[in-house]
Amino acid sequence: MTLAENLSEIIGEGQILENEPMKNHTTFRIGGPADVLVCPETEDGFIRGLGWCRRQKIPVYIIGNGSNLLVGDKGFRGVVFKICRNLDKTDIIEEDSVVRVHAGAGAMLAKLAKDVSAEGCGGFEFATGIPGTLGGAVAMNAGAYGGEMKDILKSVRAVDMEGNIREFSLEELKLGYRTSRIQKEDWIVLSAEMVFEKGDAGAIMARVDELSRQRREKQPLEYPSAGSTFKRPEGYFAGKLIQDAGLKGYRVGDAMVSEKHSGFVINAGAATADDVRRLMADVDGRVYEKFGVHLEPEVRLIGEFE
Ligand code: FAD
């Protein structure tokens, strides 16, 4: 049996794609083929598939919506598990003045944040423009406009590569700037619980609209990208350093530093992963030369590059 046939039998319900171009699964629209890409429909099926790959010593990688990924042009040798809209069961429970939200890792963060805000719950407005999944957002401790996942999470259920499931309290997650224990120790988020206070629905939705207006105005949302390419170096803003180094609009092939927001590298047409990687190295080099500051990628690089 082929790898795909084995996985199909093991996971049960779900989609299995062979030799699947990763550019179809990343917001950068870049990336060569994964040997197999699996979208499991059930948590149990996913955990069985994961365990089987581990026993067979087949490399695996977990993605959500692929909105923070640069996948190499030669693709990924092994199995990519996509935890996206497939595992997104959500419950919103009102309890006096607080609202508890329990959602699967595959829930789309922006929609979840909009739904919760529309219920008149404050604190999730920051996430209404982040195009990732809840699982990816926990792993990255995603944040914007002064808010981050750390502010709203109560607990997270996760599984490790051995199939052990455990619940992490907020403190145990060790969430920091775009980092978490989940990411450092290779846990995989299955679901998360968040708690919100009830507030003034009108004011909350006005903030959602305002943040969305700011994003449209300042970010190159009309081009494929993976959001901010670099982390914010302590005491600086990556976009400002890049702009001040004269790199606005700098191009390698079709990879380009956005004219609208220098913190974003965009795919201006048919950029390859290699174009982006070379551009990132050039940008880091020029910024270091000028300001003595290194830029660390926020985007995760996976798979095989040229
Ligand atoms: P992916 O890109 O698929 O994966 C990212 C990382 O998370 C990988 O290491 C992956 O292995 C891991 N991961 C994914 N799912 C799981 C899981 N279930 N369990 C464990 N690990 C997992 N980010 C911000 O923080 N703030 C912003 O304001 C912001 N704005 C953006 C705007 C645009 C236009 C774009 C394209 C991106 C933006 N991002 C932003 C980046 C990105 O949306 C976030 O990092 C998001 O949280 C990534 O989620 P994802 O599901 O797409 O993860």
Is residue 192 very low, low, confident or very high in pLDDT (cuts 50, 70, 90)? very high
Which secondary-structure segment (H or E) carries 108?
A: none
* For ligand 1, atom 32: residue with the closest CA: 227
CB atoms within 10 A of CB 49: 24
Taking CA atoms only, the protein residue closest to ligand 1 atom 34 is: 227
Instruction: Give 61 Cα–ligand 1 centroid separation in angstroms.
Output: 14
Residue type, 134: L
Domain count, the chain: 3
Pocket residues: Cβ below 6 A from ligand 1: 27, 62-69, 83, 105, 130-133, 135-137, 139-140, 142-144, 182, 188-189, 219, 221, 225-227, 300
Expressed as residue numbers, the domain containing 22 is 3-82
CATH number at residue 198: 3.30.465.10
Instruction: Give the ligand 1 atom nearest the CA of 27.
Output: 36
Of the pLDDT bands very low, low, confident and very high (cuts 50, 70, 90), residue 306 is confident
Domain co-membership, 59 together with 31: yes
Residues with active-site annotation: 178, 228, 298
Q: Tens digit of pLDDT for each residue in 32-77? A: 999 999 999 999 999 999 999 999 999 999 999 999 999 999 999 9
**Burial degree of 251 (CB within 10 A; 0-12, 13-18, 19+):** middle
Mean pLDDT, rounded, for 81-87? 92
**Is the domain of 155 the same as that of 204?**
yes
As a whole number of angstroms, the distance between CA 219 and CA 244 comes to 18
- Average pLDDT over all residues of the chain: 96
Tens digit of each residue's pLDDT (9 = 90 or more) over 98-126: 899 999 999 999 999 999 999 999 999 99
Neighbouring C-beta atoms of residue 259, cutoff 10 Å: 12
> Domain containing 237 — which CATH number?
3.90.78.10
| Nearest ligand 1 atom to alpha carbon 141 | 25
